Amino acid sequence: MRKNIISVMATLAFLPAVSFAAAPTLTEVLDASGVTLAGHASGSYSYSHVGISGGGGSASDNTFTFDQAQLMISKLPTEGFGAVVDVYAGQDVKGGTYNYASGTAGTITAPISALIYPTGAFNTFSGGSQEINLHQAYVQYASGGLTIIGGKFATLAGYEVAADGANTNATRSLLYGQQAFTLTGVRAGYKVSDMFTAYVGLSNSAAGGTTLDTDNKKVTELGIALAPVTGLTVNVTDYIGTDGTVKTNLLDLVTAYTVGDLSLALNADHNTFKDSGVVDVKNTGVALYANYQVTKAFRAGIRGEYLQSKDDIAVTKIKRKEVTLTGGYAAAKNFDLVADVRRAEVKADGSPTKGSLTTAVLKAVYKF
């Protein structure tokens, strides 16, 4: 008996060691099934000062803000059906903080004071007071060069996007508030080659920086995306529609060029609103961007833009301009600090006063 036990023990001693593999993580399970889970969280500290020349007064404020929390779940195979669900929460959803317009600006008693708000107040995903919003939710079908999506999805217009982690600046441009953030409808894209893609879509009307639609009117989306040479992209999109009784048309151009550590971009918009002699407004603007990666961790950039709003019925013209200096520091692979110093000015023709908004922002963005 003793010999048998010794024999068994000797046999076990020469067996290879058995290791038990650790259970797969949620990320590994999702990756294996083709599902992507991504998002970010961002918060900021800002100081802003609103001033009105000609004795109109001034106001300042400073605040900490939880800007955004995003969670996006997607499964988008190159062939067949897929879907995206993209949820946002935070103060940016509620609106009015992208450009950190002073909350006390309303205390300034001057006719031009209301003109300060177009630098920030149009920026709202939801159009309401809630701080949680379903930003995107759509189903996709792909086959060859054809891709069709249906549901709620991001606009093709503009160089800047909703997500803090995908922009080079901490604040948003004036043009960003002129563009619809999302559309609800259908869009078809066909990739003819690596150099050319065409888009066509039909959606509920969305005239400007809001996703609210209060009628059954529609907007037609037409667009092309070009990549003629390495590093250069050109996107042209036209949104033609009706909102209520107002005919709207947003023609948007975005071109970007990257060479080495230098990135350049241009965004130009021509946005019109016409209503049988009652409303005839034209908003025309251009934004220029330059960003340079100084080191692996540090970058520096500048944004300058000009926006003119002209009302042909009331015979008024409002001119806005802004310049933003930006510095970025990648403290870790998934954590960025972004600092902006932004100066915006607005003036109406015929008015002796001029409004200004000076802002300093430090934003932290964690991406996952």
In a domain, 87, yes or no: yes
Structure tokens at 332: 């870790």
| Alpha-carbon torsion, ordered 148, 150, 154, 157, to 10 deg | 60
In a domain, 10, yes or no: no
Measured in degrees and rounded to the nearest 5, phi and psi for residue 23 equal -65, 140
In a domain, 20, yes or no: no
At residue 295, the 3 state secondary structure works out as: coil
Q: What angle do CA 60, 307, 109 make, to 5 degrees?
A: 35
| 8 A C-beta contact, residue 343 and residue 354 | no
- Separation in Å, CA 294 to CA 261, 330, 343: 8, 12, 24
In a domain, 360, yes or no: yes
| Average pLDDT for 157-186 | 90
| 8 A C-beta contact, residue 277 and residue 313 | yes
- What is the reported pLDDT for 12? 46
In a domain, 35, yes or no: no
| Average pLDDT for 47-58 | 73
CA distance 107 to 113: 9
CA distance 115 to 355: 8
Distance of CA 226 to the CA centre of its chain: 21
| 8 A C-beta contact, residue 326 and residue 171 | no
Residue of higher predicted confidence among 15 and 212: 212
What 79-83 contacts at long range (C-beta under 8 Å, 24+ apart), as own/partner pairs, is 79/142, 79/143, 80/141, 80/142, 80/143, 81/139, 81/140, 81/141, 82/139, 82/140, 82/141, 82/142, 83/137, 83/138, 83/139, 83/140
Q: Residue 114: is its pLDDT beyond 90?
A: no
H or E element: which one contains 54? none
- Average pLDDT, whole number, for the chain? 84
Residue of higher predicted confidence among 44 and 102: 44
- What is the reported pLDDT for 106? 44
Amino acid in the structure at residue 156: L
Which region among 18-32, 67-81, 87-101, 108-122 has the lowest average model confidence (pLDDT)? Answer: 108-122
Quick: pLDDT tens for 174-185. 888 788 888 899
Q: How confident is the model at residue 135 (pLDDT cuts 50, 70, 90)?
A: confident
- What is the reported pLDDT for 182? 86
Residue of higher predicted confidence among 21 and 200: 200
DSSP 78: S
Quick: pLDDT tens for 291-348. 999 999 999 999 999 999 888 776 788 888 999 999 999 999 999 999 999 998 888 8
- What is the reported pLDDT for 316? 80
In a domain, 54, yes or no: yes
In a domain, 28, yes or no: no
Residue of higher predicted confidence among 365 and 65: 365
Quick: pLDDT tens for 249-279. 999 999 999 999 999 999 999 999 898 777 7
3-state SS, 99-135, equals: CCCCCCHHHCCCHHHHHHHHHCCCCCCCCCCCCEEEE
Q: Provide the domain count of the chain.
A: 1
Nearest to 363 by CA among 157, 166, 179: 166
Q: Residue 245: is its pLDDT beyond 60?
A: yes
Quick: pLDDT tens for 197-231. 999 999 987 655 555 666 788 999 999 999 999 99
- What is the reported pLDDT for 94? 75
Name the E strands within the chain. 36-52, 57-75, 80-89, 132-143, 146-154, 182-193, 196-204, 218-226, 232-243, 246-259, 262-275, 279-293, 298-311, 316-332, 335-348, 355-367
Q: What is the CATH number of the domain that holds 112?
A: 2.40.160.10
In a domain, 168, yes or no: yes
Q: Residue 353: is its pLDDT beyond 80?
A: no
Domain that holds residue 341: 40-367
DSSP 352: S
